[in-house]
Amino acid sequence: MNNVRPESMARITTTELANAFIDEQVKEVREQVGDKKVLLALSGGVDSSVVAALLIKAIGKQLVCVHVNHGLMRKGESEAVIEVFRNQLDANLIYVDATDRFLGLLEGVSEPEKKRKIIGGEFIKVFDEEASKLEGISFLAQGTIYPDILESDGVKAHHNVGGLPEDMQFELVEPIKLLYKDEVRVVGKALGLPASMVDRQPFPGPGLGVRCLGAITRDRLHALREADAILREEFDLAGLNLKVWQYFIAVPDVKSVGVKNDKRYEGWPAIIRAVNTTDAMSATIDEIPYELLHKITARITAEVEGINRVLYDLTPKPVGTIEWE
């Protein structure tokens, strides 16, 4: 299959269309793979999760999933991957906690592109180490989707396991590469993945590494993770999780003065980003009710150590990209 979506390909919007796509891909994957093993970097994001579920349906335990926790995951994310794939889908899953390794390499690095390259490069190394322990892997599966192909002209320096080393002799398996994100979700639901996983936020490969702006420190990363969890919880409670395509917090390496317990103290701002888009190529800003913004602000500033301001980013794409870095 080539990398151009045919004009005649109908948008997958229903369970019936999704099931037809799944059947077709299961057949193609079985033909491509035969009795060989396939390796997949399972991030827990929508794309890799849907690829994992699709491949489990097609080839079962021939799929080896490797989940690398680079320490830049959102709160509870790695736990959710283990619960769904190991406990519910009985996947062949290898879990690697590489937090210290990644954060050690990122210490003092503030340039965004350099951060992405370190995270992407180290991901490949960890992945390569795991792959070399395994016997008879012939294929590498990736959660590439159509916007990745359309944007692969240098806009994205890091996607999934991008830029594989020469000596990794794997043939690629990319079953969802002609789908848009909204279609991937429909397919995921048809595969029986939980809504919490299928409807979850798109999450960049470098994770919170591109939302903890500038040089990453453990204390600021912790504050970001906690603030982001509050934002997601409040959006869920308000029913906005299904209305807003992507929402997250970014925390810059900037401090401002605030007041707490009648004393002046310095803290970071948490910046809320909430956008709507169908294909991630352009994005509009969602109007979040002020009442909810006030509630989120009160919770973040009260519950998260180190954050003393909450800001709302009103910039569409273009001009601003969805992520800050």
- Look at residue 287 and tell me if it is in a domain: yes
Same domain, 52 and 157: yes
Q: Cα separations (Å) of 292 from 115, 121, 239?
A: 33, 39, 11
Q: 166-180, 212-226, 283-297: which range is least confident on average?
A: 166-180
Question: What is the mean pLDDT of the segment spanning 70-80?
Answer: 93
Band (43; pLDDT cuts 50, 70, 90): confident
pLDDT of 222 over the 60 cut: yes
Final residue belonging to a domain, choices 198, 219, 239 = 198
Same domain, 190 and 260: no
Residue 159 pLDDT: 40
Residue 254's CATH number:
3.30.300.10
- Look at residue 103 and tell me if it is in a domain: yes
Residue 4 pLDDT: 87
Q: 7-11, 57-61, 94-98, 292-296: which range is least confident on average?
A: 7-11
pLDDT of 108 over the 50 cut: yes
- Look at residue 128 and tell me if it is in a domain: yes
Same domain, 72 and 217: no
Q: What is the mean pLDDT of the chain?
A: 90
pLDDT of 168 over the 70 cut: no
Same domain, 56 and 88: yes
pLDDT of 41 over the 80 cut: yes
Residue 155 pLDDT: 41
Amino acid residing at 288: I
pLDDT of 110 over the 60 cut: yes
Residue 303 pLDDT: 97
Residue 154 pLDDT: 44
Same domain, 224 and 155: no
Beta strands in the chain (DSSP E): 37-41, 63-69, 92-97, 137-141, 171-173, 246-250, 256-260, 263-276, 284-285, 307-312
Band (200; pLDDT cuts 50, 70, 90): confident
Matching residue, tokens 């806009």? 155
Same domain, 232 and 185: no
pLDDT tens-digit series, residues 229-275: 999 999 999 999 889 989 999 999 999 999 888 889 899 999 999 99
Band (163; pLDDT cuts 50, 70, 90): very low
Same domain, 160 and 61: yes
Same domain, 51 and 187: yes
Establish how many alpha carbons lie within 13 A of residue 257's alpha carbon, considering only the half-sphere containing its beta carbon. Answer: 3
Residues 278 and 182 sit within 8 Å (Cβ to Cβ): yes
| Domain count of the fold of the chain | 2
Same domain, 171 and 37: yes
Final residue belonging to a domain, choices 165, 198, 231 = 198
Percent of the chain having pLDDT more than 90? 72
Residue 157 pLDDT: 39
Count of residues in the chain: 325
Final residue belonging to a domain, choices 198, 219, 238 = 198
Range of the structural domain that residue 148 is part of: 15-198
Angle in degrees, CA 273, 274, 276, rounded to 5: 140
Percent of the chain having pLDDT more than 70? 94
Same domain, 218 and 190: no
Same domain, 165 and 235: no
Residue 325 pLDDT: 92
- Look at residue 294 and tell me if it is in a domain: yes
Residue 128 pLDDT: 85
CA separation for the pair 141, 51 (Å, rounded): 8
Residue 62's CATH number:
3.40.50.620
Same domain, 169 and 233: no
